[in-house]
Amino acid sequence: MNIKGDKEGIDLLNVKHQQLLNEIGKAIYGQTDIVKQVLISIFSQGHCLLVGVPGLAKTLLVNTIAKVLGLEYSRIQFTPDLMPSDIIGTEILDQNKEFKFIKGPVFANIILADEINRTPPKTQSALLEAMQEKSVTSAGHHFKLDQPFFVLATQNPIEQEGTYPLPEAQLDRFMFSLWLDYPAFDEEITIVRNTTSSLEVKLESVISKQEILDFQKLIRKMPINDNVLKYAVTLVAKTRPNTELATEISNKFLKWGAGPRASQYLVVGAKTHAALHGKYSPDIDDVKAVAVSILRHRIIKNYKAEAENISVEQIIEKLL
């Protein structure tokens, strides 16, 4: 991608963003906010955790986004008997009696980790290095993953029997935790009409792999005012009970607050949100636009919040 300057790059990204939304909209009806947040996560070099009941087109969403972004896509169905080698790959003895590494499904650009809480922590942790370091280690050998690399994991919030809750350390690796809701009535009519007919949707690739990497670098270079940076860091500090900047609501209802990674994601998420909407620098509204999805899985309520039926989202809204 040949960009004359940063402003031209932001303008081009804004155009590409609209083209992506239009193309994804051919296959995904409703869920516009979810699609936008997933795109923010991709351009921010982050990962997403999608929480929603079965049948809300989570798999179709990932597949569609991979096609319009022109990226290689891989799906891993997490089950109780899944082993780490099933994700990262394994060594085999070839016909020449030499060990050969066979790459697992993690060697793709977009990974759908379907029902990630259905497998034990040992296997869940196989994704940790890939998500954080963008590389995997097997039998003492180090393998770099192709860029861009993005993990979108799904989780069913209803059925908890036979599941293994994600540890906080792994939850923190996800930039966003997105909650999928049921579609609106009119949207559901459109979904049912289009998916029960012979209608075939042909999706076009809107952006190249190299353009995505260039846009990711461009967003990192975007300037941010000190007051916006301070607002983001202060917001995270407010979530930490019994500390200097803690608010009354966090002291009353929170057991643990968010760590520094939340501040980092708030800033880069605000930059990406601004860039995708054609702005050359983020403001406080851009921070607010990504705050709930970034903070909801990083703060832990106490027994008082549970007893009074106070949700994490209500606490974040108060802090905002």
Tell me what pLDDT residue 158 has: 65
Domain coordinates in residue numbering, the chain? 6-195, 223-319
State how far the Cα of 32 lies from the Cα of 122, in Å rounded to an integer. 35
Question: Which residue from 80, 87, 63, 197 is spatially nearest to 137, judged by alpha carbons?
Answer: 87
- Whole-model pTM: value is 0.88
Residue stretches of the chain with pLDDT short of 50: 1-4
H-helix or E-strand spanning residue 103: strand 99-103
Are 207 and 70 in contact, with CB atoms under 8 Å apart?
A: yes
State how far the Cα of 303 lies from the Cα of 294, in Å rounded to an integer. 22
Question: Which residue from 257, 279, 267, 265 is spatially nearest to 229, judged by alpha carbons?
Answer: 267
Architecture per CATH, domain 223-319, reads as Orthogonal Bundle (1.10)
Tell me what pLDDT residue 3 has: 45
Question: Which residue from 118, 126, 114 is spatially nearest to 83, judged by alpha carbons?
Answer: 126
State how far the Cα of 174 lies from the Cα of 249, in Å rounded to an integer. 25
Tell me what pLDDT residue 102 has: 83
Convert the pLDDT of each residue in 288-311 to its tens digit: 999 999 999 888 888 888 888 888
Distance set, CA 24 to CA 27, 68, 133, 182, 230 (Å): 6, 7, 29, 18, 35
Pick the CATH number of 6-195 from 3.40.309.10, 3.40.50.620, 2.40.110.10, 3.40.50.300: 3.40.50.300
Convert the pLDDT of each residue in 95-117 to its tens digit: 777 777 788 888 989 998 888 88
State how far the Cα of 126 lies from the Cα of 132, in Å rounded to an integer. 11
Are 121 and 73 in contact, with CB atoms under 8 Å apart?
A: no
Convert the pLDDT of each residue in 157-195 to its tens digit: 766 666 777 777 778 889 999 888 777 788 778 778 777
